[in-house]
Amino acid sequence: MSMTADYLELSDVRVEFDGFRAVDGVSLTVLQGDLRFLIGPNGAGKTTLVDAITGLARAAGSIRFGRTELLGRKAHRIARLGVGRTFQTASVFEDLSVLQNLDIAAGAERGPVTMLRARGRTPERIDETLETVGLTAHRDLKAGTLSHGQKQWLEIGMLLVRDARVLLLDEPVAGMSGEERTRTGELLRRVGADRTVVVVEHDMDFMRSFADSVTVLHAGSVLSEGSVAEVQSDPRVQEVYLGTAPTDAANDSDEAVA
């Protein structure tokens, strides 16, 4: 599957709601192993862009995963092509156990006979994933009883267990403690090495610690793109975050972006 490196390529993507252009001609390419952060002020179109990639929002332009065009496919078909996402509010299946959550995530390709039978032994992939996201001790707990951070890890686990090749994570560390953020960042680093990962995030400290590259969205378009340092020194970025371009650069702008 990953003989050649995967990549996600958006060209001139546009999303319109009742005449309002939420995403207005975004083009960007994310390569496998490049932990990409997508930042921007509220209303910049970050989540809408994720919605467009995953088939939730109707979009124009082109969104390709490798050679496969994603636009125009139904959400569950896009998911089956290996594109996975999480949501701002952790949306695990609260009434089901951690194990059941992962088992559902792992099984979109199961046939009717398997579906109509009870689960026998725990599939090996699920045990590995539990280990990876650190929830082995919690496998039989209802997901609703997990802490906020654990729910986010479970969500990421639900993408790993079905070996999603593209991970689109919408504010994965929102509401997490400092320690949980660090763990999440390290987890993303590890799983992102052989996957294509896009993280939508507001937390600038988190971004600085873990981003390989950053795309800044503003008013539905790409404002700036590059390494963390490049983006932070871009006057246009400073202007968007501060309202005006500061005259004396480094310290102020750093504060502004943070």
Position 48 contacts other proteins (CB under 8 A):
no
Residues 172-211: b if buried by 16+ CB within 10 A, e if exposed: bbbebeeebbebbbebbeebbeebbbbbbbebbebbbebb
Query: Going residue by residue from 134 to 153, which x/- string records binding to other proteins, judged by CB under 8 A?
Result: xxxxx-xxx--xxx--x--x
Evaluate whether 29 touches 9 at the Cβ level (below 8 Å).
yes
Q: How far is the CB of 65 from other proteins (least distance, A)?
A: 14
Which one, 60 or 108, has the nearer CB to other proteins?
108
Please, which residue, 18 or 109, has the CB nearer to other proteins?
109
The minimum distance between CB 3 and other proteins, in angstroms, equals 23
We find the least distance from the C-beta atom of residue 51 to other proteins, in angstroms, to be 11
Give dist(CA 183, CA 206) in Å, integer.
11
> Least distance from C-beta 130 to other proteins, angstroms?
9
**Residues 239 and 226: beta-carbon distance below 8 Å:** no
Alpha helices in 122-177 (DSSP H): 124-133, 148-160
* Closest to 43 (Cα-Cα) out of 219, 215, 244, 214: 219
Closer Cβ to other proteins, 181 or 218, answer by number: 181
Binding site for other proteins (CB under 8 A): 54, 56, 74-76, 79-80, 84-85, 87, 91-97, 100-101, 103-105, 107-110, 114-119, 131-138, 140-142, 145-147, 150, 153, 158, 162, 183-184, 186-187
